[in-house]
Amino acid sequence: MLFSILVSGFSTGWQATCYLSIKLHSKDKFLLEAIQLYFGGIGSIKKGTNDSVIYNIVSIKEIDVIIAHFDKYPLLTKKKVDYYLFKRGVKIIQSGRHRSLEGIEEIVKIRAKLNWGLTEKLIASFPKIAALESVKVRPLIEETYDFNPYWVAGFVSAEGNFFVDIITSSTMKSGYQVILVTKITQHVKDEQLLKNLVTYLKCGIYYKRPKENAGDFLCKSLSENLNIVLPFFQKYPILGTKSLDFQDWSLIAHLIKDRAHLTTEGLNEIREIKSRMNTKRIL
């Protein structure tokens, strides 16, 4: 989900537009349709690049529906800061101040802190603002992590992965060890969110990857996956095509629980299930 402010220059002057976009793989188009229906049919869904579909909301009147929603149900990740900046931009446009140069400059200052900052064109057009805002930090907003289980299910549906590792092992009779893995990856700026998720679910660890500016919620413990992760997402279901990966992951979990992975037949069955999961899945 992306909260954006587009600032464009024309012969008649500058124009500012606020929009919300949600981009998914085309196989999950039905999820975007469900979101659009939830918001009363506002916005449009269009085909994107690389087998993607994008749900866009551009109309200021329709943006009001989105603002009302996220004011009532606050975001938990650092995207909350983007929402706060986005909302400020919307208010400027609603007031009509964006029709003046001063208003556009105010929006450019906001845009400098939003998402990936200013475009090269905006940097060239507003060099003083670009120089000043480049050294300013994003606004600080109080972070709260009062998790709702349905939020967790939605978050993991979007950001998580369920997969299985099969590695050679000299201690296993079959010569192989089967490892269930639950993984959620986020930018390092959301480190505290994932750490709090570890505490909330009472399983997994937080693993930081500084070189990639990323971090993972990582659960490889068999007992934790079987006794915590599996029942949690059976009660609060994963959505979209990722639910198919969770179903296959669950099948393998039950095979391991029944010790079928210790036999050649069981190991072959696990390999077959694994071969159709995640990026290898054909719909």
Which DSSP category does 97 fall into?
G
- Cβ density class 83-115: b for 16+ within 10 Å, e for less: bbbbbbbbebbeeeebeeeebbebbbbbbbbbe
Q: Specify the pLDDT at position 144.
A: 62
pLDDT for 175 equals 84
- By residue count, the chain amounts to 283
pLDDT at 247: 97
What is the structure's pLDDT at 268?
94
What are 43-93's pLDDT values in tens digits? 999 998 888 999 999 998 999 999 999 999 888 877 888 999 999 999 999
Angle of CA points 14, 20, 22, to nearest 5°: 140
The pair of three-digit structure tokens given for residue 17, joined into one six-digit string: 């537009």
Backbone φ, ψ for residue 206 (5° rounding): -100, 125
- Whether domain 149-280 has CATH 3.10.28.10: the reply is yes
In this prediction, residue 136 carries a pLDDT of 59
Query: What is residue 137's predicted lDDT score, i.e. its pLDDT?
Result: 64
- What is the residue extent of each domain of the chain? 2-133, 149-280
The pLDDT value given to residue 140: 60
Measured between alpha carbons, how far is 43 from 21 in angstroms, rounded to an integer?
Answer: 9
262-279 pLDDT, tens per residue? Answer: 999 999 999 999 999 988
Residues of the chain with pLDDT under 70: 11-12, 134-145, 283
CATH classification (class only), 2-133: alpha beta
Decide whether 2-133 matches 149-280 in CATH topology: yes
User: What local confidence, expressed as pLDDT, does residue 44 receive?
Assistant: 95
The sheet with strand 44-47 has its strands ordered as: 2-10, 13-25, 52-57, 44-47
